[in-house]
Amino acid sequence: MHGIEKITDRIAQDAQAELEAQLSQAQERADQILAEYETQAREAVERILAHGQREVDAHRAQLHSMARLEARKRVLAAKQDVIEAAFEKALARLCALPREKMVPLLARLAAVYAETGEEEVILPPASRRAYGQDVVDQANQLIGEGHLTLGPAEEGIAGGLLLRRGRVDINCTFSMLLQRRRESLSAQVAEILFPRGEQV
């Protein structure tokens, strides 16, 4: 899985510029919201001055808190959008790897996830034609006593592969592998894109 982590690191660099633009927009909107709440707070203060200074202070604090909460929510949403874009770019880059990187990666996936070593390796049609047998041959070498075979092509696979044994498929598509690791990778991507101490 080192390849995925390297790609995620490269994508983090690409996403940094996009992040800064989105964070700037989110900050501008947060400032606008804060200004609107300040205006509302001033108007409210004038209306309720007769009810006492404590009520005015409490209301102002509540409005400030709401503005800060809204600003934080918008910044968090922008960060989540950037992380999602990073995962989409990672998936696109994985699917577009050149043959010399794709074949060893798919062979390792097949070797690692094969349960018996006798599964069929199912690939997308273009991948099957271009390097399907090479993937199977390298995977069998990695397994040692492997008897993986090249199965029929399957249209629904965007990238990666399936291992099929009878009616059971082991999903090793890139999208599924990223989804499985999303929680731990999301934390790593967020740490790269948004270092600790960065204020929201």
Tell me the pLDDT of the chain (200 aa) as tens digits: 566 677 666 666 666 656 676 767 767 777 787 677 778 778 876 776 656 677 767 878 888 888 888 887 887 777 778 778 877 888 889 889 999 999 999 999 999 999 998 999 999 999 999 999 999 999 999 998 879 999 999 998 889 999 999 999 999 999 888 888 777 777 777 777 777 755 44
DSSP code string of 108-158: HHHHHH-SSS-PEEE--HHHHHHHHHHHHHHHHHHHSS---EE----TT-S
**Alpha-carbon distance 162 to 151, whole Å?**
9
What is the predicted pLDDT for the residue at 3? 65
Report helix, strand or coil for 164: strand
What is the predicted pLDDT for the residue at 168? 92
What is the predicted pLDDT for the residue at 151? 93
Cα dihedral 166/167/168/172 (nearest 10): 90
What is the predicted pLDDT for the residue at 192? 76
What is the predicted pLDDT for the residue at 70? 84
Whether the model pTM is above 0.75? no
What is the predicted pLDDT for the residue at 19? 63
What is the predicted pLDDT for the residue at 63? 83
Which residues make Cβ contacts (< 8 Å) with residue 141, sequence separation at least 6? 107
**Alpha-carbon distance 105 to 3, whole Å?**
8
Residue whose token pair is 């001055």 = 49
